[in-house]
Protein backbone atom coordinates (compact mmCIF):
# COMPACT_ATOMS: atom_id res chain seq x y z
CA UNK A 1 0.00 0.00 0.00
CA UNK A 2 1.53 3.34 -1.06
CA UNK A 3 0.50 6.78 0.08
CA UNK A 4 1.92 10.01 -1.32
CA UNK A 5 2.09 13.43 0.28
CA UNK A 6 3.99 16.64 -0.24
CA UNK A 7 6.44 15.41 2.40
CA UNK A 8 7.32 11.93 1.08
CA UNK A 9 6.06 8.69 -0.38
CA UNK A 10 4.98 6.17 2.24
CA UNK A 11 4.89 2.46 1.46
CA UNK A 12 3.18 0.21 4.01
CA UNK A 13 4.71 -3.27 3.78
CA UNK A 14 2.89 -6.30 5.24
CA UNK A 15 5.44 -8.80 6.58
CA UNK A 16 5.38 -12.22 8.23
CA UNK A 17 1.96 -13.20 9.58
CA UNK A 18 0.69 -9.81 10.74
CA UNK A 19 3.61 -7.33 10.95
CA UNK A 20 3.92 -4.01 9.18
CA UNK A 21 7.06 -2.16 8.10
CA UNK A 22 6.98 1.42 6.79
CA UNK A 23 9.15 2.73 3.97
CA UNK A 24 9.50 6.49 3.46
CA UNK A 25 11.11 8.11 0.41
CA UNK A 26 11.87 11.82 0.05
CA UNK A 27 11.05 12.68 -3.60
CA UNK A 28 13.41 15.67 -3.57
CA UNK A 29 16.59 13.92 -2.45
CA UNK A 30 15.75 10.26 -2.99
CA UNK A 31 16.63 9.53 0.64
CA UNK A 32 14.75 6.46 1.84
CA UNK A 33 14.29 5.13 5.33
CA UNK A 34 12.55 2.14 6.87
CA UNK A 35 10.73 1.83 10.18
CA UNK A 36 11.24 -1.73 11.49
CA UNK A 37 12.62 -4.68 9.57
CA UNK A 38 10.53 -7.82 10.10
CA UNK A 39 11.20 -9.67 6.82
CA UNK A 40 13.76 -9.17 4.07
CA UNK A 41 11.85 -10.28 0.97
CA UNK A 42 8.84 -7.96 0.93
CA UNK A 43 10.94 -5.04 2.16
CA UNK A 44 13.53 -5.47 -0.61
CA UNK A 45 10.75 -5.69 -3.18
CA UNK A 46 9.34 -2.37 -1.94
CA UNK A 47 12.76 -0.74 -1.86
CA UNK A 48 13.42 -1.75 -5.45
CA UNK A 49 10.04 -0.39 -6.54
CA UNK A 50 10.94 2.96 -4.98
CA UNK A 51 14.34 3.24 -6.61
CA UNK A 52 16.64 0.69 -5.00
CA UNK A 53 17.97 2.93 -2.24
CA UNK A 54 17.70 2.41 1.52
CA UNK A 55 19.65 4.90 3.59
CA UNK A 56 18.42 4.17 7.10
CA UNK A 57 16.81 1.25 8.93
CA UNK A 58 15.20 2.50 12.14
CA UNK A 59 14.13 -0.04 14.78
CA UNK A 60 11.47 0.54 17.43
CA UNK A 61 12.67 -2.27 19.71
CA UNK A 62 14.69 -5.45 19.92
CA UNK A 63 12.15 -8.23 19.22
CA UNK A 64 13.11 -10.47 16.31
CA UNK A 65 9.96 -9.77 14.32
CA UNK A 66 11.04 -6.11 14.15
CA UNK A 67 14.82 -6.42 13.70
CA UNK A 68 15.42 -9.71 11.83
CA UNK A 69 15.98 -8.16 8.39
CA UNK A 70 18.17 -5.26 9.55
CA UNK A 71 21.50 -6.94 8.87
CA UNK A 72 20.54 -8.41 5.46
CA UNK A 73 19.25 -4.99 4.40
CA UNK A 74 22.43 -3.29 5.60
CA UNK A 75 24.45 -5.80 3.59
CA UNK A 76 22.33 -5.27 0.47
CA UNK A 77 22.07 -1.45 0.53
CA UNK A 78 24.74 -0.14 2.90
CA UNK A 79 22.01 1.16 5.19
CA UNK A 80 22.76 2.79 8.52
CA UNK A 81 20.92 1.07 11.35
CA UNK A 82 19.36 3.11 14.16
CA UNK A 83 17.69 1.82 17.33
CA UNK A 84 17.03 2.48 21.01
CA UNK A 85 20.17 3.15 23.04
CA UNK A 86 18.61 1.34 26.00
CA UNK A 87 18.48 -1.89 23.95
CA UNK A 88 21.84 -1.66 22.19
CA UNK A 89 22.96 -5.01 23.63
CA UNK A 90 19.96 -6.77 22.05
CA UNK A 91 20.07 -5.13 18.62
CA UNK A 92 22.34 -5.44 15.58
CA UNK A 93 25.36 -3.11 15.73
CA UNK A 94 23.92 0.40 15.62
CA UNK A 95 25.28 3.25 13.54
CA UNK A 96 23.30 5.54 15.83
CA UNK A 97 21.91 4.68 19.25
CA UNK A 98 18.81 6.77 19.89
CA UNK A 99 17.74 8.34 23.16
CA UNK A 100 14.22 9.65 23.78
CA UNK A 101 13.59 13.12 22.32
CA UNK A 102 16.26 12.68 19.64
CA UNK A 103 15.85 14.05 16.11
CA UNK A 104 16.50 12.14 12.87
CA UNK A 105 16.71 14.49 9.86
CA UNK A 106 14.53 13.50 6.91
CA UNK A 107 12.86 15.21 3.94
CA UNK A 108 13.49 18.76 5.09
CA UNK A 109 12.17 17.93 8.54
CA UNK A 110 12.82 15.24 11.09
CA UNK A 111 11.52 12.23 12.93
CA UNK A 112 11.72 12.56 16.69
CA UNK A 113 11.80 9.78 19.20
CA UNK A 114 9.20 9.25 21.92
CA UNK A 115 9.86 7.02 24.93
CA UNK A 116 7.20 4.31 24.87
CA UNK A 117 8.66 1.63 27.13
CA UNK A 118 6.59 -1.17 28.61
CA UNK A 119 6.43 -3.73 25.82
CA UNK A 120 10.23 -3.59 26.05
CA UNK A 121 12.17 -1.29 28.36
CA UNK A 122 13.71 0.89 25.67
CA UNK A 123 10.91 0.89 23.09
CA UNK A 124 10.72 4.06 20.99
CA UNK A 125 8.02 5.51 18.77
CA UNK A 126 8.90 7.88 15.92
CA UNK A 127 6.89 11.03 15.26
CA UNK A 128 7.18 12.57 11.80
CA UNK A 129 5.56 16.01 12.14
CA UNK A 130 6.02 17.07 8.52
CA UNK A 131 4.22 13.95 7.32
CA UNK A 132 1.64 14.04 10.09
CA UNK A 133 2.44 10.50 11.25
CA UNK A 134 3.74 8.55 14.21
CA UNK A 135 5.14 5.03 13.98
CA UNK A 136 4.38 3.20 17.20
CA UNK A 137 5.85 -0.29 16.79
CA UNK A 138 4.36 -2.51 19.49
CA UNK A 139 3.61 0.25 22.01
CA UNK A 140 0.24 1.15 20.48
CA UNK A 141 -1.96 -0.79 18.10
CA UNK A 142 -5.24 0.13 16.55
CA UNK A 143 -7.79 -0.36 19.37
CA UNK A 144 -5.08 -1.92 21.54
CA UNK A 145 -1.56 -1.77 22.96
CA UNK A 146 1.37 -4.12 23.33
CA UNK A 147 1.79 -6.70 26.07
CA UNK A 148 4.01 -5.63 28.95
CA UNK A 149 6.86 -8.08 28.50
CA UNK A 150 9.57 -6.04 30.22
CA UNK A 151 8.14 -2.84 31.68
CA UNK A 152 5.20 -2.22 33.97
CA UNK A 153 1.81 -0.57 33.59
CA UNK A 154 3.06 2.81 34.82
CA UNK A 155 5.81 2.88 32.19
CA UNK A 156 3.49 1.86 29.36
CA UNK A 157 0.79 4.29 30.47
CA UNK A 158 3.29 7.14 30.51
CA UNK A 159 4.30 6.30 26.94
CA UNK A 160 0.69 6.25 25.77
CA UNK A 161 0.09 9.63 27.40
CA UNK A 162 2.97 11.04 25.35
CA UNK A 163 1.35 9.68 22.21
CA UNK A 164 -2.06 11.07 23.23
CA UNK A 165 -0.49 14.54 23.35
CA UNK A 166 0.15 14.54 19.58
CA UNK A 167 -2.25 16.40 17.28
CA UNK A 168 -5.50 14.43 16.90
CA UNK A 169 -5.17 14.33 13.10
CA UNK A 170 -1.85 12.43 13.39
CA UNK A 171 -1.92 9.19 11.41
CA UNK A 172 -0.61 6.17 13.31
CA UNK A 173 1.41 3.37 11.77
CA UNK A 174 1.27 0.25 13.97
CA UNK A 175 3.62 -2.70 14.17
CA UNK A 176 0.93 -5.40 13.86
CA UNK A 177 -2.53 -5.98 12.43
CA UNK A 178 -4.54 -7.02 15.49
CA UNK A 179 -7.41 -4.60 15.03
CA UNK A 180 -10.38 -6.96 14.69
CA UNK A 181 -9.41 -8.90 17.83
CA UNK A 182 -8.67 -5.69 19.71
CA UNK A 183 -12.09 -4.30 18.83
CA UNK A 184 -13.74 -7.53 19.94
CA UNK A 185 -12.05 -7.08 23.31
CA UNK A 186 -13.02 -3.40 23.42
CA UNK A 187 -16.66 -4.44 23.04
CA UNK A 188 -16.42 -6.42 26.28
CA UNK A 189 -15.55 -3.29 28.29
CA UNK A 190 -17.43 -0.64 26.26
CA UNK A 191 -20.31 -2.47 24.59
CA UNK A 192 -22.15 0.78 23.82
CA UNK A 193 -19.24 2.40 21.96
CA UNK A 194 -20.80 3.11 18.57
CA UNK A 195 -17.54 4.40 17.07
CA UNK A 196 -15.85 1.10 17.86
CA UNK A 197 -18.70 -0.90 16.31
CA UNK A 198 -18.56 1.17 13.12
CA UNK A 199 -14.79 0.79 12.96
CA UNK A 200 -15.03 -2.99 13.31
CA UNK A 201 -17.35 -3.10 10.31
CA UNK A 202 -14.78 -1.11 8.28
CA UNK A 203 -11.91 -3.38 9.32
CA UNK A 204 -13.85 -6.54 8.47
CA UNK A 205 -14.57 -5.11 5.03
CA UNK A 206 -11.00 -4.03 4.27
CA UNK A 207 -8.95 -6.54 6.22
CA UNK A 208 -6.60 -3.88 7.60
CA UNK A 209 -6.60 -0.71 9.63
CA UNK A 210 -3.26 1.03 9.22
CA UNK A 211 -2.79 3.89 9.23
CA UNK A 212 -5.45 4.91 11.71
CA UNK A 213 -5.59 8.37 13.29
CA UNK A 214 -5.13 9.48 16.85
CA UNK A 215 -8.62 11.00 16.80
CA UNK A 216 -10.09 7.62 15.89
CA UNK A 217 -8.03 5.80 18.49
CA UNK A 218 -9.14 8.22 21.19
CA UNK A 219 -12.71 7.26 20.30
CA UNK A 220 -12.30 3.46 20.10
CA UNK A 221 -9.13 2.34 21.90
CA UNK A 222 -9.87 1.46 25.54
CA UNK A 223 -6.20 1.79 26.49
CA UNK A 224 -6.33 5.47 25.50
CA UNK A 225 -9.65 5.90 27.32
CA UNK A 226 -8.59 5.00 30.87
CA UNK A 227 -9.61 8.52 31.88
CA UNK A 228 -13.26 7.85 31.00
CA UNK A 229 -15.38 7.51 34.17
CA UNK A 230 -17.81 5.13 32.46
CA UNK A 231 -14.97 2.79 31.50
CA UNK A 232 -13.59 2.78 35.04
CA UNK A 233 -17.09 2.05 36.33
CA UNK A 234 -17.48 -0.86 33.92
CA UNK A 235 -14.30 -2.37 35.38
CA UNK A 236 -15.45 -1.84 38.96
CA UNK A 237 -12.81 0.86 39.45
CA UNK A 238 -14.83 4.05 39.82
CA UNK A 239 -12.59 6.78 41.19
CA UNK A 240 -9.39 4.77 40.75
CA UNK A 241 -6.27 6.39 39.25
CA UNK A 242 -6.12 6.16 35.46
CA UNK A 243 -3.02 3.97 35.56
CA UNK A 244 -4.93 1.38 37.62
CA UNK A 245 -7.72 1.38 35.05
CA UNK A 246 -5.11 0.89 32.32
CA UNK A 247 -3.44 -1.96 34.24
CA UNK A 248 -6.77 -3.76 34.67
CA UNK A 249 -7.54 -3.36 30.97
CA UNK A 250 -4.16 -4.89 30.12
CA UNK A 251 -4.75 -7.81 32.49
CA UNK A 252 -8.13 -8.50 30.92
CA UNK A 253 -6.74 -8.23 27.40
CA UNK A 254 -4.00 -10.72 28.27
CA UNK A 255 -6.70 -13.24 29.24
CA UNK A 256 -9.02 -12.48 26.31
Task: Identify the active-site residue in 36, 62, 65, 127.
Answer: 65
Task: Identify the active-site residue in 61, 62, 123, 127.
Answer: 61
Task: Identify the active-site residue in 62, 119, 123, 127.
Answer: 119
Q: Please indicate whether residue 62 is annotated as part of the active site.
A: no
Task: Identify the active-site residue in 36, 62, 123, 138.
Answer: 138
Q: Please indicate whether residue 63 is annotated as part of the active site.
A: yes
Task: Identify the active-site residue in 62, 123, 127, 176.
Answer: 176
Q: Please indicate whether residue 66 is annotated as part of the active site.
A: yes
Q: Please indicate whether residue 61 is annotated as part of the active site.
A: yes
Which 3-state string (H, E, C) describes the chain? CEEECCCCEEEEEEECCCEEEEEEECCCCCCEEEECCCCHHHHHHHHHHCCCCCCEEECCCCCHHHHCCHHHHHHHHCCEEEEEHHHHHHCCCCCEEECCCCEEEECCEEEEEEECCCCCCCCEEEEECCCCEEEEECCEECCEECCCCCCCHHHHHHHHHHHHCCCCCCEEEECECCHHHHHHHHHHHCCCCHHHHHHHHHHHHHCCCCCEEHHHHHHHCHHHCCCCHHHHHHCCCCCCCHHHHHHHHHHHHHHC
Task: Identify the active-site residue in 62, 66, 123, 127.
Answer: 66
Task: Identify the active-site residue in 36, 62, 63, 127.
Answer: 63
Q: What residues act catalytically?
A: 61, 63, 65-66, 119, 138, 176
Amino acid sequence: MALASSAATLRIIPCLKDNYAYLLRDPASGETLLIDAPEEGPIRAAVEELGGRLDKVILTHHHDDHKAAAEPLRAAYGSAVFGPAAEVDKLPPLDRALEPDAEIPFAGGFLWTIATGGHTLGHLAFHWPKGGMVFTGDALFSAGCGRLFEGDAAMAFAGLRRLKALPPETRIGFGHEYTATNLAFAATVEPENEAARAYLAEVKASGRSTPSTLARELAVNPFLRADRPELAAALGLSGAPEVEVFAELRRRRDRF
